[in-house]
């Protein structure tokens, strides 16, 4: 398949090739370069997709989704009412929605019954349309803790280690730990409260790293964030710096995050402009400032939406990225957050996230140029995932 466009964002640095082309063979990027050069390598019968006013860029990565949740007003109740077969059917359709907006890789940070792994296998075998899924399987939480209903309760270092091993044996590619509470879970710890002891968290990180898996820590609370950083987790999710009475960003902890090369996924909903209405102007400003402070300090931020929780649909990643533009981040850095940087954080940086020969053919074509107008990401023309071509807006 030969794809030509006005601009191609090529290589690890997404440098612009004007009037460029990408040649895809057997699921892999075979060649990227100026159109005339790449065309010479294409066979006469090669399928051709011409987008003379568009841009080809690497497929987007949503580093934080929950395929098991429906993004409705009560995602937990809906989940609990569904059996595995009905849930699997819904998860399959959500995977198609992600693909439709150009998301070709997701990290699923918590589902039930290994269904995301089953879906990943179906997608890999071509039985379902969807992005590559890096699955955490069941998140690790204390008894009755945040998202206990997903089946990952563990108490004490031994139980924590056993659960990490169970997930690793099942095929998890990352271990998710609920280091603090969360709003989604009624009757559990508050968002700012730490759920695990330092000893339990150390055991979890040790067991995960021993199994060759990174750790993603859900951490809203400032204390939990600090504890996760010291325990040596690999990514911090949400990272909202909450205390019992507000928001307290700690510059010393941010410095440690940078020093330890920890990625932070702030989980931004496409409806972020509603936050001042939802939390009040002052609180929303403090939330925005916290992310800006991390960005300014050089924290390696990655894009994620928490798709599946209330108001976070599976088509929201492109719109969510405008949040970072609002904070003043350069468009180039925002694209990196949703491609190369996210790929690295997910442990798939040598197979996806860039248009480079030998990488998986995960790409999208948008109308216009996202380097001059980020809104271009919302006019998807073509999506290619693992070399399979999908029409815009709908998985074939
Ligand atoms: Zn989440």
| Long-range contacts at 38-41 (CB < 8 A, ≥ 24 apart) | 38/2, 38/4, 39/2, 39/4
**Cβ(207)–Cβ(160) below 8 Å:** yes
Residue 43: the pLDDT is: 94
Do 218 and 237 contact (CB within 8 A), yes or no? yes
> What spacing in Å lies between the alpha carbon of 34 and ligand 1's midpoint?
41
CA separation for the pair 207, 88 (Å, rounded): 29
For residues 256 and 149, what is the distance between their CA atoms, to the nearest angstrom? Answer: 33
| Residue 83 CA, ligand 1 centroid: distance in Å | 21
Residue 49: both structure tokens together: 């997709």
Measured distance CA(338)–CA(374) in Å, rounded:
12
CA distance 304 to 267: 5
- What's the CA gap between 101 and 177, in Å, rounded? 29
Cα(332) to ligand 1 centroid in Å equals 26
pLDDT tens-digit readout, 101-143: 999 999 999 999 999 999 999 999 999 999 999 999 999 999 9
Q: Is the pLDDT of residue 395 over 70?
A: no
How many percent of the chain have pLDDT more than 70? 99
Q: For residue 105, list its beta bridge partners.
A: 61, 132
Quick check: 331 pLDDT over 70? yes
Model confidence over 209-221: pLDDT tens digits?
A: 999 999 999 999 9
Q: What pLDDT score does 188 carry? A: 85
Asked whether residue 393 carries a pLDDT value surpassing 60, the answer given is no
pLDDT at 392: 60
The pLDDT tens digits of the residues spanning 31-60 come to 999 999 999 999 999 999 999 999 999 999
Distance CA 389, CA 396 (A): 8
For 306, the token pair is 């928490």
Residue 79 Cα, ligand 1 centroid: separation in angstroms?
15
Give dist(CA 59, CA 364) in Å, integer.
5
pLDDT of residue 221: 97
From the CA of 312, how far away is ligand 1's center (Å)? 10
Which pLDDT score, from 0 to 100, does residue 396 have?
38
- What pLDDT is attached to residue 184? 84
126 Cα: distance to centroid of ligand 1 (angstroms): 27
Strand 28-34 vs strand 15-25: parallel, antiparallel, or unpaired? antiparallel
CA of 65 to the centre of ligand 1 (A): 6
Q: What is the mean pLDDT of residues 174-203?
A: 93
- For ligand 1, the distance from its centroid to the CA atom of residue 337, given in whole angstroms, is 18
Q: What is the pLDDT of residues 288-313, one digit of tens each?
A: 999 999 999 999 999 999 999 998 99
Query: Residue 187: what pLDDT?
Result: 82
Of 153, 143, 140, residue with least CA distance to 208: 140
Q: What is the pTM of this model?
A: 0.97
Per-residue burial over 352-380, b = 16 or more CB atoms within 10 Å of its CB, e = otherwise: bbbbeeebbbbbbbbbbbbbeebebbbeb
Non-local CB neighbours of 378 within 8 Å, separated by 6+ positions: 101, 318, 319, 366
Lowest mean pLDDT among 186-190, 208-212, 243-247, 375-379: 186-190
pLDDT in the model for residue 363: 98
Residue 186's pLDDT is: 82
CA 292–ligand 1 middle distance (angstroms): 21
């Amino acid at each position: 398949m030969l794809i030509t466009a006005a601009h191609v964002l090529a290589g690890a640095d997404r440098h612009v090739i004007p009037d460029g082309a990408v040649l895809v063979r057997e699921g892999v990027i075979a060649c990227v370069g100026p159109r005339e050069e790449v065309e010479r390598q294409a066979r006469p019968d090669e399928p051709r997709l011409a987008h003379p006013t568009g841009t080809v860029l690497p497929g987007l990565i949503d580093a934080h989704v929950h395929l098991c949740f429906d993004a409705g007003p009560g995602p937990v109740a809906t989940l609990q009412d569904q059996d595995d077969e009905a849930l699997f059917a819904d998860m399959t359709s959500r995977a198609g929605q992600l693909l439709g907006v150009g998301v070709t890789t997701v990290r699923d940070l918590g589902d039930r019954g290994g269904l995301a792994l089953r879906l990943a296998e179906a997608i890999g075998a071509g039985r379902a349309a969807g992005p590559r899924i890096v699955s955490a399987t069941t998140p690790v939480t204390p008894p009755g803790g945040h998202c206990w209903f997903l089946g990952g309760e563990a108490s004490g270092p031994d139980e924590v280690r056993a659960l990490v091993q169970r997930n690793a044996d099942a095929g998890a590619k990352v271990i998710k730990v609920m280091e603090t509470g969360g709003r989604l879970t009624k009757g559990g710890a508050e968002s700012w409260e730490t759920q695990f002891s330092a000893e339990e968290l150390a055991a979890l990180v040790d067991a995960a790293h021993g199994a060759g898996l990174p750790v993603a820590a859900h951490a809203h609370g400032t204390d939990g964030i600090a504890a996760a950083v010291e325990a040596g987790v690999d990514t911090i999710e949400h990272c909202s710096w909450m205390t019992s009475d507000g928001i307290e960003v700690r510059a010393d902890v941010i410095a440690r995050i940078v020093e330890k090369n920890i990625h932070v996924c702030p989980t931004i909903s496409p409806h972020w402009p509603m936050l001042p209405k939802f939390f009040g102007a002052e609180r929303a400003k403090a939330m925005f400032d916290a992310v800006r402070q991390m960005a300014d300090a050089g924290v390696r931020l990655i894009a994620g939406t928490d798709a599946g929780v209330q108001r976070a649909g599976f088509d929201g990643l492109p719109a969510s990225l405008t949040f970072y533009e609002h904070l003043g981040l350069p468009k180039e850095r925002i694209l990196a957050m949703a491609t190369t940087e996210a790929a690295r954080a997910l442990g798939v940086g040598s197979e996806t996230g860039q248009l480079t020969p030998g990488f998986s053919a995960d790409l999208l074509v948008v109308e216009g140029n996202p380097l001059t107008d980020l809104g271009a990401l919302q006019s998807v023309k073509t999506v290619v995932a693992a070399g399979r071509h999908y029409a815009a807006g709908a998985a074939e």
